[in-house]
Amino acid sequence: MRKLHPTVAIALVAAIYTAACGPAVGETAASQTGKLAVEELATGLDHPWGIAFLPDGRALVTERAGRLRLLGTDNKLSEPLAGVPEVSARGQGGLLDVALDPDFKTNRVIFFSYAEPGPGGASTAFARAVLGEGKLDNVTVVFRQLPKVSGNGHYGGRIVFSRQGHMFLTTGERQKMTPSQDLMSHLGKVIRLNRDGTVPADNPFVGRSDAKPEIWSYGHRNVQGAAIEPKTGDLYTLEFGPAGGDELNRPEPGKNYGWPLVSWGKHYNGEDIPDPPTRPDLADAVKYWVPAISPSGMIFYTGAKFPQWKDNLLIGGLGAVGIVRLKLENGKVVDEERIELGARIRDVDQAPDGSIIVLTDDDDGKILRLRPQP
C-alpha cells in the first residue's frame, strides 16, 4: 500500500475531522463575527462548479457532467439548458465556470468554460453565448487552450472581467508541469483577452515571435480561483500547489510565478522542490498554505449583510471543507479565518441581497446560503 506524504496525510486528517465536526444544513456555522445560518437552496447537482446571478435574481449554475441550469427565485432548478457543447467530463474535466458579460442587461451574453475534447486529448475552452429561453444561442469559442493533451486534471477555468472590460481566463498545466514555463504553450497561464476573443494591444507579449500574445502571466500550476479587488482593480488568483503550497497570487503582466521550478509544497512522492526565495527572479505568492486548503472559487465581498467582511476575500476550500476568509491591506494578508462547513466548497458567490452562496463539490452537490444568525 502506498504511503501518503506527511503533508497530504495531515491535510486528509484535518479534512476528515472538520467534515465530522462541521455544521449540518439548518444549523449554524461559527465565525469570528457571530454565527451564520446555513440554508439549503437546492440539492441533487452533480459536482456543481460555477454560479452566476442574473439581474432578475435567478442564477446560472454549472454541473461538471456538462449541464447548465437556472436556479429560480423559488429555489427550483430548471431542466438543463440546450446548446451546451460536448464536454470531456472525466476526472477534473467537464463544464466549469460561468460568468455574465458586463453588459448582460442589454446583450444577454454569458461566458462559460469547459474541458473540450479534440485531437490529442482535451484542453480548456472558453465560449460566449446568448442566453435564450431554455437554451443557449450563438455559442462561439473565444479562446481554446493549445495544445490539447492527454490526462484528466488541471484545467483551471475561472472567468473574471477587469474594470476596463477585459477578460481574465485561468488555466492549468494539465499535469504536464514543464509547459508552464513555455511561452509558446497556453498550459499553466493566465490569459487576457477582449470580450470578442481578440488580443488587447497592451498585453505583455504582443509582438514577440517566441510567445503567445494572449498570455498575461505564466509559471502557474492549476488556477481555479480569480477575483478583481474592488479598491484597486487588481487581479487576484488562487492556485493549487502539489503536496502543500497552495497560493494566493496577484498576477502582474509578463511575470513568471515559478511552477514547476519552485514551490512552497513538495512533490507527491516526497521529493523536495526548491522554495521560491531561492529564485528571486521569479514572482512569489502573496500568501501560501502548508498544509493545503485546496482553494477553488473566490470573491471579494461587497455586500451589506456582513459589514465586518467588506472587501475581504472569501475562498471556497475543498481541503479546508469550508470558507477561508482573508483581509488584505496594501496587497498583504493581515487576517485569516476558517469557517467550517463540513463540505468541500467548490465556488463562492454573493447573492443580490448580500448573503453568501456556496456550491458543495459532491455527487449530490448542494447550493447553500449563509446569512448572519439573528
Q: Which residues are catalytic, by number?
A: 154
What values do phi and psi take at 287, rounded to 5?
Answer: -155, 150
Instruction: Answer yes or no: are the C-beta atoms of 34 and 373 closer than 8 Å.
Output: yes
Side chain identity, residue 109: V
Closest CA to 332 of 187, 229, 202, 262: 229
What values do phi and psi take at 61, rounded to 5?
Answer: -140, 135
What does the chain come to in residues? 374
Closest CA to 171 of 90, 274, 96: 96
Cell numbers for 283: 514572482
d(CA 53, CA 214): 28
Closest CA to 151 of 185, 117, 189: 117
Of the chain, the end-to-end C-alpha distance in Å amounts to 50
Q: Is the dihedral of CA 63, 199, 102, 217 positive or negative?
A: positive
Instruction: Answer yes or no: are the C-beta atoms of 220 and 205 closer than 8 Å.
Output: no
Q: Within 13 A of 323's CA, how many CA atoms are on the CB side?
A: 28
Block residue for cell numbers 499535469: 175
Instruction: Answer yes or no: are the C-beta atoms of 335 and 348 closer than 8 Å.
Output: no
Closest CA to 58 of 42, 46, 43, 45: 42
Cα three-residue angle 68-172-200, rounded to 5 degrees: 85
